[in-house]
A and B are shown apart, each in its own frame.
Chain A
Amino acid sequence: MEDLDSWLAAGYDRSFRTAWLMLRNRDDAQEVVQEAYLRVWRFRDSIPRGDGRDAWLYRVVVNATISRLRADKRWRRRSDDGELTSLPAPEQDGPAHQAEHGALADRVLAALAALPETLRIPVVLRYYAGLSEREIATAIRRRPGTVKSRLHQARVRLSADPALAAWADEPAAGTAGPGGDAVRAEASTS
């Protein structure tokens, strides 16, 4: 019990951030993580041992978030008609939050917020949560080909975003390109 408790506490930050990137709301993210942790408790007999259990926890959080989004009628309506509309702007978390955010983070988050949910969710799952395309397809109940297509659309849109244009047009497998060093530097300090 103590081990389970400390393990869940250690994984809270990453779980919350993943949920927040998908939901764009602190209260919803907190609720989703709480619900996910409750699922973990209920199915504690199924927790894999060893290195795999962090990935398992992550999957549970992602699934709980997807379930929340699916339960949301707005999401369902948008998802069904396939229309690519933007979400409202992310909530403001006050001066302290603004101070913590660097310029890079703000730009990335703004560009991410400009994406419609149908594109933003796969992007977060693929490039932040680290899920494979097949795992994303299972999570959002779409074909792997659809996921691949949406990821491509998202990258095209993000490349066209003025805030991230500096990182576009670089070799696919190359280094970070313009500003790439700054990215790594800021990422390592955050």
Chain B
Amino acid sequence: MISESTLTELLHAAGDSVPVPADGAEQVRDALGPQVAQRRWIHRPSNPRLLSAAAGVVVLALVGVGIAAGVSSGGGHHGQTSAAVALAPEHAGSAAGSGKSDQQLAAAPTAGAAEAPAAPGVVNGPAAGSGSGTDAVPTTTPRVVRKATISLQAGDGKVPASLDGLRGLAEQHGGYVASSQGSLTSDDPTGTVVLRVPVAQYAQVRDAITSGRYGKALDVSESGADVTNQYVDLDARIHALQASRQTYLTMLSKADTIGDTLAVQQRLDQIQQQLEQLQGQQKVLADQSDKATLTVSVGEKPAAVLTPSAGRTGFDKAFHDAGHRFTHGLQRTVAATGTALLVLLAIAVVALVCWVAVRSARRRMV
């Protein structure tokens, strides 16, 4: 039988005689070129366990903050939003400046290098544009989504006139009626109109509605949500994607193989899709913050106010209390389930990260 050493020599003699493609190494280098360019970001950290541990700590911290916020938010939603409105200009200015610069330094260094963060306490105007000088967006202008809900009591037979007056009021201030519905033929005619007016006219329109001209104001509630951060973040991501798109367009013009062209085109399509989604979100956000929404309900009688178990006695009171407690218990159960689900979600994320890290470590051993 052939000895192992002889077989080794024979196989090396035969194997080394196999002709190697003359340009094989160059072909591999050419094939790796785009891969290297596209995969530069897939830089594996040197210690996946450290990464998974850090990710776990971050997730747990987020869960803790979320739970704490959930517990502490029981004071009332309305008060929180009111505070947001009051703090909106200063908070939005500083937050917008820092958020924008971070995003652009990380994703698109060419887009925002010239932008300076807003000075504390100063509400910036639209003059602070992007560094590119094109598609300038007033990124540091505070953006607040304002909403108001007003209930009016008009006199007998005056509901239709009140609704007409509200429509005219919206148009008079450069707004429009988003929706209108009413029941004017019943014994208790009521109607509701949703007005959209420019934010600058919001206070005047609100004051006009509650002045008594269209009926007695029974209830007025206002809310405001500061979306400046969200808007600026979207703006930065859009600019970064636009810069990436330009880079890939340049690569596409230089691609000389079908494989390269298809790969770049595929990436371009993905970027375009993301870009359109973000631009759509930004458009919606801009519309919500450019125009305030006022929902006005008009009726001849004041809205009935439910007084729980007032004046109830005996079985009526018992059944009513039972129903009330059942609903209350159900609410608490749902709330507790939500927290548990959040914790379970966090555990699942940590497990997923650990699994990916272990798999990555195993693949390193190829």
Which of A's residues lie within 8 Å of B, judged by CB?
Answer: 5, 8-9, 12-13, 16-18, 20-21, 26, 30, 33-34, 37-39, 41-43, 45-46, 59-60, 63, 93, 96-97, 100-102, 104-105, 108-109, 112, 123-124, 127-128, 155-156, 158-159, 164, 167-174, 176-177, 180, 183-184, 186-187, 190
A17–B18 Cα gap in the complex (Å)?
Answer: 6
Residue of B whose beta carbon sits closest to that of A187: B13
Shortest C-beta distance, B116 to chain A (Å), equals 37
A33–B23 Cα gap in the complex (Å)?
Answer: 13
What are 17 A-B contacts defined by CB distance under 8 Å? A5-B29, A12-B24, A16-B20, A37-B32, A41-B36, A42-B39, A45-B44, A63-B366, A104-B10, A105-B17, A109-B14, A109-B18, A155-B1, A156-B1, A168-B2, A170-B2, A184-B9
A128 touches B24 (CB 8 A): no
B15 touches A18 (CB 8 A): yes
Residues of B within 8 A of A63 (CB): 366
Q: Is B246 an interface residue, CB under 8 A from the partner?
A: no
Q: With A9-B29, A37-B28, A42-B39 in contact, is A104–B13 under 8 Å at CB? A: yes
A45 touches B43 (CB 8 A): yes
Which of B's residues lie within 8 Å of A, judged by CB?
Answer: 1-21, 24-25, 27-29, 31-32, 35-36, 39, 42-44, 46, 363-364, 366
User: Using a Cβ cutoff of 8 Å, how many contacts connect chains A and B?
Assistant: 138
Interface of B is mostly: helix
A20–B8 Cα gap in the complex (Å)?
Answer: 17
Interface of A is mostly: helix
A124 touches B35 (CB 8 A): no
Residues of B within 8 A of A112 (CB): 11, 14
B2 touches A21 (CB 8 A): no
Residue of B whose beta carbon sits closest to that of A109: B14
Residues of B within 8 A of A180 (CB): 6, 9
Residues of B within 8 A of A128 (CB): 8, 11-12, 15
Shortest C-beta distance, A108 to chain B (Å), equals 4
A127–B17 Cα gap in the complex (Å)?
Answer: 15
Partner of A173, one of B5, B11, B21: B5
Residues of B within 8 A of A102 (CB): 17
Shortest C-beta distance, A168 to chain B (Å), equals 5
Which of B16, B29, B43 is most buried by chain A, counting CB atoms within 10 A of its CB? B16
Residue of A whose beta carbon sits closest to that of B13: A187
A59–B364 Cα gap in the complex (Å)?
Answer: 12
A43–B28 Cα gap in the complex (Å)?
Answer: 16
Q: For the A-B complex with A42-B39, A155-B2 known, give 6 more contacts whose Cβ atoms are closer than 8 Å.
A: A21-B18, A30-B21, A41-B39, A63-B366, A102-B17, A156-B1
